[in-house]
Amino acid sequence: MSDLLARLSAVPYRPHVVTDAANEDYDRQLREFVAYLKQPGLIPSTSDPNEYLQALSPSKNSLSFLYLLRFQIQQAQKRTKRDLPDSIQPGGNLWNLAVRFLRSFDPIQIRYSLDEWRQLVDLVASAAVTSSKAVLGLKATRDALERLSPSGIFTSTHLLLVKLALHSSAYTYALPITDQLLCHFPTDTEHVHHEYFLCSEQAPNTALVTDASGISAKLSYRDHLQYFLYSAMIYMALKKWTQASRCLNVVIASPTANAVSKIMVEAYKKWILANLLGQGKIPSTPKMISPHVIRVYQSLARPYISLAEAFEKGDLYKMSNEIDLGQAIWQADKNTGLVSQLFEAFDKFVIVKLGRTFSALTIADVLQRTSSSPKCPREIEEFVASLVMSNSMRASLSHSPDDNGTTMLRLSLGSQTHPFYREEHIRAKLMRAKTALDTIAQGVTQTDQTLELSQENLQFLAKSQKWSVSAEKVVSSGDIGGGDIDEDLMGDGQ
């Protein structure tokens, strides 16, 4: 038994010097170790694996820990003849071990056994869901995914995460993951570039982004559409309209081949509402959507479009008419919540727009110009105050000194905050854009590489094409020279 423990804990340590030779060595050792762990009957069924588990550190001996844990879960399943024995439920012994592992595993080691890792995450998540503690599963999944940091690769675990977040209504927990820019999708490509070892830290993406790595379950187009739609729904629940619209853009602009997914249509409906709520207008759709897809959207989302038209025109009467008419539709599409927020957004945009026409006016005048619902001046004043406080508009309210209850609203131009905060705001924005650009630039380089779009390669291809074309020409001109009788008849007697 101690032999076994010694073997299990004898994980090759990572080389400190990062050289190709060291990496290669490390890579080989890890592969051998995984092969060793995989052999059946490694752990005698008589012994108690718990002891091993206690003795192993999940961060140092991640691979052994993972295999032992899975072995034990399997034992428990066999014993109880249930897929989810009690000990794996939240609070159980195995649950605690699993969560501890998912928080502290070594991402480099785990790359050699992603399939097992993923199944453990799935199991933890479903255990949490069945015991209706989805939020615990969400946290564990989030930690696991953050720790693995599959930099920009979309995996089935991402989808699992957003599903759990929606299931448990704990939206903010999912944000660290949904805020990351995804660029890559696992492919079943045959020619993987083996310039990098799985364990090297420099460019892990190209090696990971294959189906063979087991980083993700088999994906279908529905999965990434769902992921972005669900992410958008998380943002919408948190009223982060810009991000929501960004995610929905990905869905509605998804590449298609002769078919439009229903998920995309749903996304288009939500896209309209999110943009109305966030910007008060419908921006133009991304340019890469092909026209026939747009036509499909427009024909299937007609009530939404006419609602948006009424909203954009500032026609309150028509808008509430449209909302009343479409009750059944909003209900069926589960968009009632979003639609009901339109009234407040309408008032908000009307008042913000007042800033372009007026520099000062009384609250009574504001009331008269918004007139969305019969409100008293007090209510509208509170509403305006909340808009000012939430930085939606830049204005100030002042009560008149004499006690006749009039309040003057002074509006200043622009929606930005105090100049002192402006600089900070711009700085933060720039920093965010810089990170995003870095990620994208990296993604572009990698994609170029995998798609073989380097300058030299293209030149080579062009050249070889020229050769083949000229070769064809030689052949075809030879044909004509052979004297086709039809050609002669049709020609002008040359």
Task: Tell the smallest beta-carbon distance from residue 360 to another protein (Å).
Answer: 4
Torsion of CA 302, 308, 312, 316, to 10 degrees: 110
**236 exposure class (CB count in 10 Å sphere: 0-12, 13-18, 19+):** buried
- In the region spanning residues 304 to 343, those forming contacts with another protein, defined by CB under 8 A, are none
Residue 140 makes contact with another protein by CB under 8 A? no
Only one residue has tokens 């080579």, namely: 460
Stretch that binds another protein, among 93-101, 382-390, 403-411, 455-463 (CB under 8 A): 403-411
Residue 386's alpha-carbon distances to 111, 155, 245, 344, 383, in angstroms, are 50, 41, 24, 12, 5
Q: Which is nearer to another protein, 362 or 372 (CB)?
A: 362
Q: Which is nearer to another protein, 437 or 462 (CB)?
A: 437
Binding mask 96-135 for another protein (x = CB under 8 A): -------------------x---x--xx-xx--xx-----
Q: Hey, what are 174's tokens? A: 């999912």
Q: Which amino acid is located at 152 in the chain?
A: G
Q: Which of 2, 46, 54, 220 contacts another protein by CB under 8 A?
A: 220
Cα gap 467→409, rounded to integer Å: 75
Q: Hey, what are 335's tokens? A: 């968009």
H or E, element range at 473: helix 455-481
- In the region spanning residues 465 to 494, those forming contacts with another protein, defined by CB under 8 A, are none
8 Å CB contact between 282 and 249: no
Task: Tell the smallest beta-carbon distance from residue 244 to another protein (Å).
Answer: 13
Question: What does DSSP assign to residue 10?
Answer: -
Residue 405 makes contact with another protein by CB under 8 A? no
- Cα dihedral 104, 109, 114, 120 sign: negative
Q: Hey, what are 451's tokens? A: 């798609």
Task: Tell the smallest beta-carbon distance from residue 425 to another protein (Å).
Answer: 9
8 Å CB contact between 62 and 109: yes
Residue 144 makes contact with another protein by CB under 8 A? no
Q: Which of 37, 66, 70, 141 contacts another protein by CB under 8 A?
A: 70
Task: Tell the smallest beta-carbon distance from residue 34 to another protein (Å).
Answer: 14
Residue 59 makes contact with another protein by CB under 8 A? no
Cα gap 355→387, rounded to integer Å: 13
Q: Which is nearer to another protein, 5 or 364 (CB)?
A: 364
Residue 83 makes contact with another protein by CB under 8 A? yes
Q: Which is nearer to another protein, 286 or 405 (CB)?
A: 286
- In the region spanning residues 19 to 48, those forming contacts with another protein, defined by CB under 8 A, are 40
Binding mask 449-468 for another protein (x = CB under 8 A): -xx-----------------
Cα gap 189→348, rounded to integer Å: 51
Tell me the pairing of strands 395-399 and 407-411.
Answer: antiparallel
8 Å CB contact between 197 and 205: no
Q: Which of 431, 437, 458, 471 contacts another protein by CB under 8 A?
A: 437
Q: Which is nearer to another protein, 152 or 303 (CB)?
A: 152
- In the region spanning residues 240 to 269, those forming contacts with another protein, defined by CB under 8 A, are 246, 249-250, 253-261, 264
Q: Which is nearer to another protein, 6 or 451 (CB)?
A: 451
Task: Tell the smallest beta-carbon distance from residue 341 to another protein (Å).
Answer: 24
Stretch that binds another protein, among 27-35, 411-419, 471-479, 483-491 (CB under 8 A): 411-419
Residue 229 makes contact with another protein by CB under 8 A? no
Cα gap 145→155, rounded to integer Å: 10
